């Protein structure tokens, strides 16, 4: 019996070892099998022109009251008495994890609930402003970023069309003199890049931009920045500029991530290419590149996934923009962050929440420093 147990135990050890080896060696292939939709792409007509006039088409919008996902605050956190005067347009990341369709239906409860949770955690740093807007949209499935198939481009274009319509509505309803902050994460940041190129550059809106927080998607200094006509935020009080970072713990293994990013061309239509230079603004210091110790982190949002909430832990996570243009957070933090750290010590899903309180302070500081353009 003892020998039989040892054989079973040894077999399980070998199985676990082989599984982890396969995940390391074939992570890209396995990810494609698991996440790239097997269905044909089904084109859908544009939404009705006035659809985003309806508050129910938004996950965050001033009229929503208690239903506004961005109004959430971490347990024990007290909001500042002074409000920030800026209108925020936030584009949420991918909430659709399915192989059955390339784009989420607006009626799909699973992706809608997941997107709502993303807005709660990632748009809430901006809620010192009463004007935070986050649209629902027919987001592309996560698998659209894991394949070169033409259906992936079609799915992303469909999603972007919704974001364009939502932005037009946002501009229609806010004060025409109000400063604007743009923000997005992952797929949301990807769409935000195009939105800046197509609907901000060379328009009156450009003079109203306090900052664009393009987080969790690389902003190429060669392929993107020239088409955005906006500089990198070099200092904590810089305005009219780009803030971007991509978070990894050490040792960072970013090959899989960079391969996914390289599938999408830059804003100039050219491939990103190997060894590309990306923007890295340190979210703790608010400055381009540089490093900050953990004690300077004002608060990491540690999730309580069972209750869809979380609390802030200050002084736990450092940040360093390195020569690889990634934001390094040192060894994996000793925090209960949940099960969503990606292969290679990739903290993609935590890009915002690792620095929740610093992002909140950064937002308020830049709006205060902003001055209308003559």
Q: What angle do CA 75, 78, 84 make, to 5 degrees?
A: 125
Choice between 276 and 281, residue whose per-residue pLDDT is larger: 281
State the average pLDDT over residues 161-169: 98
Residues paired with residue 327 on neighbouring β-strands, in sequence order: 247, 321
* Residues whose CB is less than 8 angstroms from the CB of residue 105 and which lie 6 or more positions away in sequence, other chains included: 111, 138
- Determine the Cα–Cα distance for residues 251 and 330; give it in Å rounded to an integer: 8
User: Confidence class of residue 230 from pLDDT cuts 50, 70 and 90?
Assistant: very high
Measured CA distances, 319 to 212, 253, 348, 355 (Å): 20, 17, 14, 9
Instruction: Report the chain's mean pLDDT, rounded to a whole number.
Output: 89
- Determine the Cα–Cα distance for residues 167 and 90; give it in Å rounded to an integer: 10
State yes or no: pLDDT of 193 exceeds 80. Answer: yes
State yes or no: pLDDT of 98 exceeds 90. Answer: no
- Determine the Cα–Cα distance for residues 334 and 336; give it in Å rounded to an integer: 7
- Determine the Cα–Cα distance for residues 362 and 281; give it in Å rounded to an integer: 11
3-state secondary structure of 62: helix
- Per cent of the chain over pLDDT 90 is 72
- Determine the Cα–Cα distance for residues 307 and 89; give it in Å rounded to an integer: 27
Q: What is the pTM assigned to this prediction?
A: 0.91
State yes or no: pLDDT of 28 exceeds 80. Answer: no
Q: Residue 154: its pLDDT value, please?
A: 96
Q: Counting every residue, how long is the chain?
A: 374
Number of H helices, E strands in the chain: 8, 12
Q: Which of 131, 132, 53, 44 is nearest to 91 (CA)?
A: 132
Residue 73 has a CB neighbour count (10 Å cut-off) of 16
- Determine the Cα–Cα distance for residues 198 and 121; give it in Å rounded to an integer: 28
State the average pLDDT over residues 327-347: 93
Q: Which of 257, 276, 174 is nearest to 216 (CA)?
A: 257
Q: Give all strands (DSSP E) within the chain, no chain letters.
A: 58-60, 87-91, 132-135, 180-185, 209-215, 241-243, 247-248, 291-292, 300-304, 309-313, 319-321, 327-328
Residue 229 has a CB neighbour count (10 Å cut-off) of 13
- Determine the Cα–Cα distance for residues 193 and 147; give it in Å rounded to an integer: 20
Q: 187-199 and 150-173 helices cross at what angle (nearest 10)?
A: 60
3-state secondary structure of 13: helix
State yes or no: pLDDT of 124 exceeds 50. Answer: yes
State yes or no: pLDDT of 289 exceeds 90. Answer: yes
């Amino acid at each position: 019996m003892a020998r039989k147990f040892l054989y079973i135990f040894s077999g399980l050890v070998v199985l676990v070892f082989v599984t982890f080896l396969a995940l390391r060696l074939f992570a890209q292939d396995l990810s494609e099998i698991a996440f790239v939709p097997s269905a044909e792409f089904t084109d859908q007509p544009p939404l009705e022109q006035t659809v985003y006039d309806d508050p129910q088409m938004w996950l965050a919008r001033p009229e929503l009251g208690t239903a506004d996902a961005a109004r959430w605050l971490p347990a024990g956190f007290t909001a500042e008495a002074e409000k920030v005067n800026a209108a925020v347009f936030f584009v949420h990341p991918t909430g659709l994890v399915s192989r059955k369709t390339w784009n989420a239906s607006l009626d799909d409860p699973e992706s809608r609930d997941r997107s709502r949770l993303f807005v709660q955690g990632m748009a809430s740093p901006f809620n010192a402003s009463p004007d935070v807007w986050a649209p629902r949209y027919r987001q592309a499935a996560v698998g659209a970023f894991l394949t070169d198939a033409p259906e992936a481009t079609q799915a992303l274009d469909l999603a972007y069309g919704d974001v364009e319509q939502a932005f037009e509505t946002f501009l229609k309803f806010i004060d025409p003199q109000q400063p604007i902050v743009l923000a997005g994460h992952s797929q949301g940041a990807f769409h935000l890049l195009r939105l800046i190129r197509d609907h901000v550059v060379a328009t009156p809106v450009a003079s109203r931009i306090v900052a664009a927080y393009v987080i969790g998607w690389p902003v190429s200094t060669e392929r993107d920045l020239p088409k955005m006509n906006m500089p990198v935020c070099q200092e904590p009080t810089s305005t009219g500029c780009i803030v971007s970072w991509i978070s990894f713990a050490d040792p960072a293994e970013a090959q899989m991530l960079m391969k996914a990013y390289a599938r999408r061309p830059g804003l100039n239509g050219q491939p990103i290419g190997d060894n590309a230079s990306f923007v890295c603004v340190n979210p703790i210091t608010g400055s381009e590149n540089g490093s900050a110790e953990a004690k300077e982190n004002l608060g990491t949002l540690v999730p309580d996934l069972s209750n869809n909430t979380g609390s802030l832990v200050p002084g736990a996570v450092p940040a360093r923009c390195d020569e690889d243009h990634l934001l390094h957070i040192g060894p994996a933090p000793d925090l209960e962050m949940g099960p969503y750290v990606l292969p290679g010590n990739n903290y993609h899903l935590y890009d915002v929440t690792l620095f929740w309180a610093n992002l909140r302070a950064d937002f308020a500081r830049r709006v205060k420093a902003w001055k209308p353009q003559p």
